[in-house]
């Protein structure tokens, strides 16, 4: 990571080192007013879709809506489906430019997740697909309802919970994807929508 990429405010942002990985969490990356604006725009402008996965000959819908945006030559496969990206929108490019000085890398795609309420979720997985490279940097920006993000060490089963708040930025980096799974569990209490953007580099 190059120190010259860091802006004045982001200079003090240091990765949190954990066993076999590291992450950065910036709770108030966007202040509330701006985060509210982004949330409204994302809800209305993004081409949201409920994808499904074939399992034992049955179509199982994902418990969330998704969308894939990015450079046009980078199709992406996950959970048995392949997505052709929509071209970058001005708003997504703005967020990308805002987070890159902190991530220290240049992203070429973003997977968006929309959790309509607490009954939407994403279950335990790693983002260690081949096309993300060896130690991927994954930057996740969060808008809307606060949801619990859980990390679980694959060998020791150690757990780390982070409540991802409106306007926050979470960056997973280092060896984390090889040793830790993550999930957003269902939560009966949550009635509001949440939108999550995970910026990635597809090789």
Ligand X SMILES: O=C(O)CCC(=O)C(=O)O
* Residue 108 binds which of ligand X, Fe ion, none (CB < 5-8 A, kind-dependent): none
Binding status of residue 165 toward ligand X by CB under 6 A: no
DSSP state of 197: E
Tell me the C-alpha to C-alpha distance, in Å, between residue 33 and each of 29, 51, 80: 12, 31, 38
Q: Footprint of ligand X on residues 54-73 (CB under 6 A)?
A: none
Site string for ligand X, 90-119 (x = CB under 6 A): ---------------------x-x------
Interacting residue with ligand X among 29, 38, 149, 180 (CB under 6 A): 149
Q: How far apart are CA 104 and CA 122, in angstroms?
A: 27
Q: How many residues bind Fe ion (CB under 5 A)?
A: 1
Tell me the C-alpha to C-alpha distance, in Å, between residue 4 and each of 16, 18, 22, 56, 57: 20, 25, 21, 51, 51
Least separation in angstroms between residue 113's CB and ligand X is 5
In this complex, which beta carbon is closest to ligand X, that of residue 173 or of residue 198? 198
Binding status of residue 192 toward ligand X by CB under 6 A: no
The dihedral region occupied by 56, where left means phi > 0, alpha psi between -120 and 50, and beta the remainder, is: left
Q: Footprint of Fe ion on residues 112-151 (CB under 5 A)?
A: 127
Binding status of residue 131 toward ligand X by CB under 6 A: no
52 token code pair? 């499904």
């Amino acid at each position: 990571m190059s120190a010259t990429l860091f802006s004045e405010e982001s200079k003090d942002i240091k990765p949190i080192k954990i066993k076999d990985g590291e992450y950065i969490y910036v709770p108030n990356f966007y202040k509330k007013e701006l985060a509210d604006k982004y949330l409204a725009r994302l809800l209305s402008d993004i081409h949201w879709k409920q994808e499904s996965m074939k399992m034992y000959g049955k179509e199982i819908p994902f418990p969330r809506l998704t969308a894939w945006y990015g450079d046009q030559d980078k199709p992406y496969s996950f959970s048995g489906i392949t997505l052709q990206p929509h071209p970058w929108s001005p708003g997504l490019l703005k967020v990308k430019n805002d987070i890159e000085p902190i991530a220290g890398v240049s992203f070429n795609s973003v997977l968006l997740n929309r959790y309509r309420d607490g009954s939407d979720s994403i279950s335990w997985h790693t983002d260690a697909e081949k096309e993300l490279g060896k130690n991927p940097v994954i930057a996740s920006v969060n808008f809307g309802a606060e949801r619990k993000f859980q990390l679980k060490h694959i060998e020791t089963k150690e757990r780390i919970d982070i409540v991802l708040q409106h306007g926050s930025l979470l960056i997973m980096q280092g060896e984390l994807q090889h040793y830790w799974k993550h999930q957003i569990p269902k939560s009966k209490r949550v009635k509001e929508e949440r939108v999550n953007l995970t910026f990635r580099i597809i090789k």
